[in-house]
Structure 1
Amino acid sequence: MLQNWLQWNRRAKQWLWIITLIGVMAALPIGYNRMNTESTSKQVEYVFDYRDLIEIAEYSAKPQDFISQHLIFMKEAGISTMAVYESSLRELMQAGRLTYYNSKEAALLQGKLETPGQNFTYILYSGSAEKEQIGPIVRAAFDRAGIVYRDWSFDGRDGLVVELPLQNSLLQPLGFDPMSLERIQAAGFRVLPRLTDRVLPYSQEEAEATLAQLKNYGVTRILFDGDKVKGYTDNAEEKSLRAFAELLNKYQIGVTTIENLKKEQSGMTTLAYLTDYNIVRLYSLSPTDAMRMKPEDIADRFLLAAKDRNIRMFFLNGAPASSQDKSAVINPLDNLYLSLKGEDGNKGTIQRLADAGFAPGTAEPFDREYPSWVKMLKGIVVIGAIALIALLINAFLPGTLIAVFLLGIAGSAGLYVLSSSVLEQALALGAGISAPTLALIWVMNRIYSRTEGNQRFVGGADWTFRSKEKGQGVVIPLSSSGDAGSKWVFEGLPARRRLGLAFSWFIVVALMSLIAVPYVFGLLNNITYMLVLQQFRGVSLLHLAPIALVAIYVVFYTGHAPIARIRKMLSTPINVLMVVVGLIVVAAGMYYLSRTGNEGQTLPFERPFREWLEGTFGVRPRNKEFLLAHPLLLVGLFAALRYRAAWLFVIIGSIGQLSMVDTFAHIHTPLHISIIRVFLGLGLGAAVGFILIGVWQLLEGVWSKWSPALKRIFAE
């Protein structure tokens, strides 16, 4: 019975590889559909923070003239949109709409003594136009909060006395400044309003009045200010998110999500779903970067964001800063203008992005299509991923292939009912780990068959013997413990033959690892990943698990008597050297993980080098792939056919295989960019690897020539 079961598993192995390849083929049309979606939104929009312009203008002799002048400069530079905020008394005073005082200041203004026991807010409008347009939003805010106020005037100017301390009055949220909206529109700019969820409780009537007002100014998209979207706070009781989404859909207004926030704005994912993902991604240039970065560096950053991360809006910030050297308050506006327009014959940001296919205009969401056949193909991809994972498990637990595959089918069906998103991510992670691991196991067995003589097929328990007479290397004699003997150098294969085998294996390993790629983009084919509303979890596990599994396989599953080898390893006393090596491995692993994912850390000199690669090739290959992992893998394959210890290079080189798969886990990066990046890394990595092999051969020749003399010297 056991023999029959093992025979069924051996036959099933071939069928599961066929199912795996069918899953790969099924994922390709899904990837093509995604590429079509990514091509539907190509316009980019440049936005400046109008509040920052007002703050900068405060440090000029004539603030209003300064604002008017720089609105013209911004229009000429290519900025098309102004971001405006819900107002406050402080911002209205900065804009010159009104002036406010506390009780003591108001008494001094009127030449009177302060009224004892009174701490009120006094407001004076700057003129009749301000009273007519600003007065209603001020009174509406105090009415909503139930605060008592009355009319007041001084020196021909009308205003209010508010029975609330000034500091509290300054915190009251007001509506949008209609005078600023009119000025921005008259200057030819679009408006990007920034809404908050500070106006509580949520009122559907007020929200609709606000959106209707904004729609009159041509608003097509809003950006939320703060850590939550409008309607989130009262959503549990009032279902306000759904109500606000209905208003957005009614007025055909989309939303904007900000890249690299420490925490996503609460309620954004729900609101995105309710608005049918009418969303664009925005990159915000900080005031510090706007001041300090060179214009060409800003252009490089924006180009990379649009091309590699689907950014379609660029938010420019500016802030005044004191300069001791210039004895003045400076601002970054001129630097921003140069970065957008260019100088001295160099193309600016707008022209460079336009040349890359991202013309300036109104940012639009992706026009996504989800044909009915996608769901059917995705089901095939799911089955293929389960087959691939089962093959990996069977490589470590021979004879379990059929059972694991059937359990995987049943478990996936149950998990789909609970959470389809968790199922997709789990299978994508499993496939991402399985393909590179199986590829490296395959090549380890090929190396073993060419050196020590035994070969184990990937995913199965079959063993074959290659004899010395067939020219496949020297068979290593076994020690009494059952382990391979102590021979560390294998003879028999010339360098040219080893180079040919190493390169062919390098190609096969890469292709086997890339089997995981269609599973990643096929399973994670959802607009939420493209918009980074949802992220692929398990990146750290993807980077570590295959390395650990391959190391375990080499130690315990190659050679003879693995049980005896495990017993011997467990009984070996721990010494200081082992502890030191272990600490080094842990430190290297932590540093390796610190460089993975979206928040990966880089060395200071790497950024200029990355920018050079981006400018030279158009798409930047990953440094760790073409400078480290791929060359080491090729060198390791070449050297391992002669030196036992060179297997370590192969294990380290596995990092490149994992990195290739991880590249496609960044779903917000266009698929064609990831494809170019991976194959460019492979090509450059192979070139560097050939150079290192040449250096290796040179050093080996030098050692062969001079080592006998050195041995004689030391012997004497």
Structure 2
Amino acid sequence: MPQWLNTWNTKLAKWLWWVVLLGVVASLPVVYARIQTETTADQVAIVMDYRDLLQVSSTQVDPQLFAQEQIQRLKDAGVNGMVVFESTLEELSWAGEVNVYNATQAALLEDRVSPPDDNGTYVVFNRPEHETTLRPLIEWAFRHHGAEVTSWSVKGQTGLRLGMGYDDAILRPMQPNPIAIKDLREAGFLVFPRLSDRFEPFDAKEVDKWLQSYQDQGIDRVLFDGEAVTGYGDGVKAKGVQRFAGLLKQHGIGVAIFENLRIPQKGMSKLANLLKYDAIRAHSVGEAEMTVIKKPVLEDRLVLAVKDRNIRLLYLNAVSARDSTKGQVTHPMNNIVDVLQGEEDEDGNQVSAGVVQQLKDFGFEVGSPKAFEVHKAPSEQILRGLAMLAAIVLVALTVGLYLPSLLLPVLVVGGIGGAGLYVLSSTLMVQALALFAAIAAPTASVVLLIKRIRAVREGAGEQAMSAIRRLSGALLLFVRTTVLSLAAVPLVVAMLNHISYSLVLQQFRGVSMLHLLPLGLVALYVFLYGSGNTVIENARKILAMPLTVLWIVGVGLLGAVGYYYLSRTGNGGQVTGIELQFRSLMENTFGVRPRIKEFMFGHPLFFAGIFLALRYRWGMVLLIAGTVAQLSMVDTFAHIHTPLLLSLIRVVLGLVIGLIVGAVAIAVWQLVERVGLKWLKRLGLTGQPR
């Protein structure tokens, strides 16, 4: 590259860093607006699956009495809501409203033989006062499902005959039980109907009646059951989702979105958009989980869901199970009560505070959950535009650290390509730019650190720096590098500042790339750049090195470590029981759990690595490993569904504890080094460090 072009690029880079700073400053009002948004909803609903409660009750001697007792216990423990599914004949039978028979059973009741061509289902109403409500509900549903419905009676009790097989009929959905909803509302519970897309075709008039009844009873939020939201099955032309969204808006009803579903419910993103994001996040503990989960684990899980992930509806399930060990049918109702209200030991000492009390301690209260009130910064579009420009510049500067001649071309191509992609898909462009900025900042910060360390070592020449000077220098360089790595945070937050990211309808993309690329790029710079040789010469030296068994073992170990590292990234990472206990200890100690890979691994290695690299060349290897913490800090803020202030506290805690651990590691090294040097002097093997 010509010298004049190199000089020109160097001068341009200095000015471009000011553009990055401008983008960071412009992002701060947008960051503040997000903080304001996240503080507008502090009420949490703790709800129980009413159908599960009926199922558990059906295994007891007196189902009705058991259900009433459990409802009161749950209410006293802190449950303030019930989820009511679309009814089925099976559920109505659990509630004692009806008896359901197949054709053979119905014939026996009538003292006759069932004809072979009769495979209908027979329903008897147990409570005459409820028949006027339930009869039209059942008739409409089964006629909608294509079955013939006729009146039937036996031994003085009225009922219906349904032209559908018993096994099929007991599963068919109907309108959520209005009698149960009314009783639960009168008992002081919030009610959340859980609707489905199982009625084909979508009947807007009928659904409008349901929603009107909900509005009349003060119900302002619904959930969804199955793989799609109501109306989705009508397809694009029928516009079922649009019609359903219009009905919800008309009746002032919002929705709740379940997190961590294997497959997101179809149509949810579109429905939430049409409702102008009148939506909250819900966390469900499944029936199977509830039978085996330990009480402390469940308590931590529920509290963390609210505090760390903006969950505003905690959904509890229950199921009766045959316990062959105990020789009886068991259920988790006692565990649920203990987890919510806390436990005491035999001496009256508090064993656990309980979910409700912990939520209060963190500033939340059990109540009616509301959607976030979205705040916007003044001239937010302009500020976000400056953040995007800064991100493009940051990426170009990072490329320029490796290939200076490409600084200007990357800047120009990035600007033009970004504008073009924004026109085609603004969402894709913003997500890609956020990822590139998140990768570029920690990469550039560590590369600049390496250049600075090399310059300091060259300036010192043969004279070794004192330990005190290296320690103070390492601290200053650590702080400078960390600040530069965190420069990506306001840019990413500003670019992805939309409520759909907080609701996880959209997400930061490329987590695996963020966890790998900075490490690879830093390693590339350490081994291929510097040493007075060109990149090609250094590459030839490395490729010319003999391949030994030690190298093969080393590569294998590195691959295993890399695989484990990647398996721990994202929400699907698995942790051991010991680590869960350690996490709980950190959570209880600090209130916010810093990331273990930052304060126990990344930051200490990085701090100690700077200290050692100021004297020993091999200390650069520690900087490569320590880069994990630099990128992890950025990744922490890329979890948009986590409150921003909590992410900030988490990162600061990780930095402080990590520096302390790193300082201890440096002290231990100094001790070992002094003892080692004494032995080397005795053996006459001392030499200059390398």
TM-score tier, shorter chain, comes to over 0.9
Which residue of 2 is the match for residue 458 of structure 1? Answer: none
Distance 1:242 1:590 in 2: 44
Unpaired runs of at least 5, structure 2: 345-349, 686-690
**Deviations, residues 515-542 of structure 1 (Å, cap 9, x unaligned):** 1111111111111111111111111111
Q: Which residue in 2 is equivalent to 1:503?
A: 475
Question: Which residue number in structure 1 is paired with residue 64 of structure 2?
Answer: 64
3-state DSSP of counterpart to 1:399: helix
Residue number in structure 1 paired with 2:497: 525
> What SS does structure 2 have at the residue aligned with 1:281?
strand
Task: Report the Cα offset of residue 295 of structure 1.
Answer: 4.3
Which range moves more in the overlay, 333-342 or 78-87?
A: 333-342
Q: Does the 8 Å contact 1:49/1:317 carry over to 2? A: yes
What amino acid is aligned across from residue 473 of structure 2 in structure 1? L
Partner of 2:540: 567
Match of 1:653 in 2: 626
Aligned to 1:106: 106
Residues 661-702 of structure 1 show CA distances to partners (whole Å, capped at 9, x for unaligned) of 000000111111111111111110000001011111111122
Partner in structure 2 of residue 89 of structure 1: 89
**Alignment partner, residue 418 of structure 2:** 412
CA distance in 1, matches of 2:404, 2:311: 47
Which has the larger displacement, 675-684 or 348-357?
A: 348-357
CA deviation after TM superposition for structure 1 residue 511, in Å? 1.0
Partners of 2:44 and 2:312 within 8 A in 1: yes
Contact 1:127 1:157 survives alignment (8 Å): no
Q: What is the CA-CA distance between 1:311 and the residue it aligns to?
A: 0.8
Of 418, 421, 440, 2:446 maps to: 440
For the residues of structure 1 that align with 2:476 and 2:59, how far apart are their CA atoms?
67
Partner of 1:132: 132
* Corresponding residue for residue 608 of structure 2: 635
Aligned-residue identity in percent: 42
Tell me the residue number matched to 2:335.
335
Map of 1:692 onto structure 2? 665
Determine whether 1:557 maps to 2:529: yes
Encode CA deviations 1:352-410: one digit per residue, 9 max, x unaligned: 21121101110000000234511110111111111111100111111222222122111
SS of residue paired to 2:175:
coil
CA deviation string 1:256-290 (max 9, x = no partner) = 00111112111110001000000011111233444
Letter paired with 1:473: G
Distance 1:518 1:371, change over 3 A: closer
Range 159-168 or range 276-285, more displaced: 159-168
What secondary structure is seen at the aligned counterpart in 2 of 1:7? helix
CA distance in 2 between counterparts of 1:625 and 1:639 reads: 19
User: 2-side partners of 1:260 and 1:407: how far apart?
Assistant: 38
Aligned to 1:317: 317
* Partner in structure 2 of residue 478 of structure 1: none
Secondary structure in structure 1 of the residue aligned to 2:343: coil
- Larger CA deviation: 331-340 vs 702-711: 702-711
Q: Secondary structure of the residue that 2:202 maps to in structure 1? A: coil
**Secondary structure of 1:237 counterpart:** helix
Query: Relative to structure 2, which stretch is displaced further, 668-677 or 96-105?
Result: 96-105
Q: CA deviation at 1:18?
A: 0.4
Matching of residue 160 in structure 1 with residue 160 in structure 2: yes
Equivalent residues of 2:437, 2:492 under 8 A apart: yes
Give the superposed CA RMSD: 1.8
Q: 5 Å matches for 1:237-248?
A: 237-248=237-248
Name the residue aligned to 2:258.
Answer: 258
Deviation at 1:131, TM superposition (A): 2.4
Count of aligned residue pairs for this structure pair? 678
**Does structure 2 retain, via aligned residues, the 8 Å contact 1:295–1:342?**
no
Cα distance in 1, alignment partners of residues 540 and 77 from structure 2 = 72
User: Partner letter of residue 416 of structure 2?
Assistant: A
- Deviation digits for residues 452-482 of structure 1, max 9, x if unmatched? x2xxxxxxxxxxxx4xxxxx133xxxxxxxx
Among candidates 658, 661, 682, match of residue 655 of structure 2? 682
TM-score (norm 1): 0.92
Deviates more, 1:282-291 or 1:254-263: 282-291
Equivalent residue letter for 2:236: A
Aligned-partner Cα distance in 1 for 2:71–2:545: 76
Match of 1:545, as an amino acid? L
Instruction: Find the counterpart in structure 2 of residue 485 from structure 1.
Output: none
SS in 2 for 1:400: helix
1:8 shift after superposition = 2.6
Gapped regions of structure 1 (runs ≥ 5): 454-465, 467-471, 475-490
Letter in 2 for 1:511: V
Q: CA–CA distance in 2 between the matches of 1:128 and 1:179?
A: 13
**What code does the residue aligned with 2:410 have?**
V
Partners of 1:175 and 1:168 in 2: how far apart? 17
Query: Which range moved further: 650-659 or 331-340?
Result: 331-340
The one-letter code matched in structure 2 to 1:675 is: L
Amino acid in structure 1 at the alignment position of 2:169: S
**Kept in 1: contact 2:145–2:199 (CA 8 A):** no
Kindly state the Cα deviation for residue 447 of structure 1 after the two structures are TM-superposed.
2.0
Partner residue, 1:669: 642
SS in 1 for 2:19: helix
**CA shift for structure 1 position 349:** 1.5
Q: How does 1:283-682 map to 2 (within 5 A)?
A: 283-344=283-344, 345=350, 346-451=352-457, 453=458, 466=459, 472-474=460-462, 492-562=464-534, 563-682=536-655
CA contact (8 A) 1:137 1:174 kept: yes
Matching of residue 6 in structure 1 with residue 12 in structure 2? no
Inter-partner Cα distance in structure 1 for 2:470 and 2:377: 49
Does the 8 Å contact 1:636/1:650 carry over to 2? yes
The one-letter amino acid paired with 1:181 is I
**Matched letter for residue 28 of structure 2:** L
Instruction: Tell me, in whole angstroms, the C-alpha distance in 2 between the residues paired with 1:711 and 1:95.
Output: 90
What is the rounded CA distance, in whole Å, between the counterparts of 1:7 and 1:699 in structure 2? Answer: 45
Deviation at 1:329, TM superposition (A): 1.9
Q: Contact 1:299–1:352 (CA<8 Å) still a contact in 2?
A: no
- SS of residue paired to 2:43: coil
Distance of 2:116 and 2:10 partners within structure 1: 95
CA contact (8 A) 1:259 1:281 kept: yes
Give how far 1:243 is off: 0.8
Structure 1 residue 156: Cα displacement: 0.8
Is 2:49–2:82's contact at 8 Å kept on the other side of the alignment?
yes
Greater displacement, 350-359 / 679-688 = 350-359
How far, CA to CA, are the matches of 1:162 and 1:615 in structure 2? 57
Indicate the residue corresponding to 1:45 in structure 2: 45
CA contact (8 A) 2:30 2:377 kept: no
Deviations 1:126-155 (A, max 9, x none): 132242221111111222133223221111
3-state SS in 2 of match to 1:605:
helix
8 Å contact from structure 1 (residues 71, 187) kept in 2? no
- Letter aligned with residue 493 of structure 1: M
> Given that residues 629 and 652 in structure 1 are in contact (C-alpha distance below 8 angstroms), is that contact kept between their aligned partners in structure 2?
yes
Q: Is the 8 A contact 2:38 2:372 kept in 1?
A: yes
